[in-house]
């Protein structure tokens, strides 16, 4: 499945004024819980549990928090840009300002890995990242993302 098919307009957030990793995870959990009709606390716990294994800040200002959840029946992607980069314990020690959060049902492991690989590939292109970073509203951010995938 194409990455852009995993994204719903209500899961795209441009230029958020969030100042910490904890608040990013809370915002993601709330959005996922509301959109996918699952428990936000469980989403938060799953995302945080994955972060405890090692930061999902992959470098170049990108984080890809992800988890598997029993309560979701379809894979979904959240795209968020931040107004100001934040410390996220990224592997390159640089602050992050683009977040691609992925939530998948337990039976979709292969798709999960393929999606993570597609996002990681996107993160290698400074030009593509710049196009995402310049978008000021959520609909434009989604359009830009879809045009790059």
> Which residues make Cβ contacts (< 8 Å) with residue 57, sequence separation at least 6?
63, 88, 89, 90, 91, 92, 96
d(CA 101, CA 28): 7
CB atoms within 10 A of CB 115: 22
Look up tokens 């951010």; give the residue. Answer: 141
With CA atoms as reference, report the closest residue to 129 among 114, 141, 111, 139: 141
d(CA 44, CA 109): 20
Please list the active-site residues. 66
d(CA 53, CA 49): 7
């Amino acid at each position: 499945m194409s990455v852009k098919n995993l994204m719903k307009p209500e899961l795209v957030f441009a230029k958020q004024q969030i100042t910490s990793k904890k608040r990013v995870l809370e915002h993601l959990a709330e959005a996922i819980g509301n959109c996918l009709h699952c428990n936000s606390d469980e989403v938060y716990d799953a995302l945080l549990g994955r972060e405890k294994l090692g930061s999902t800040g992959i470098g170049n200002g990108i984080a890809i928090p992800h988890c598997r959840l029993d309560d979701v029946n379809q894979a979904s992607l959240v795209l968020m840009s931040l107004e100001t980069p934040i410390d996220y314990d990224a592997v390159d020690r640089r602050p992050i300002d683009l977040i691609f959060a992925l939530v998948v049902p337990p039976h979709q492991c292969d798709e999960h890995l393929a999606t993570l690989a597609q996002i990681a590939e996107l993160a290698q292109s400074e030009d593509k990242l710049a196009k995402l970073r310049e978008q000021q509203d959520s609909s434009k951010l989604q359009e830009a993302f879809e045009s790059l995938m």
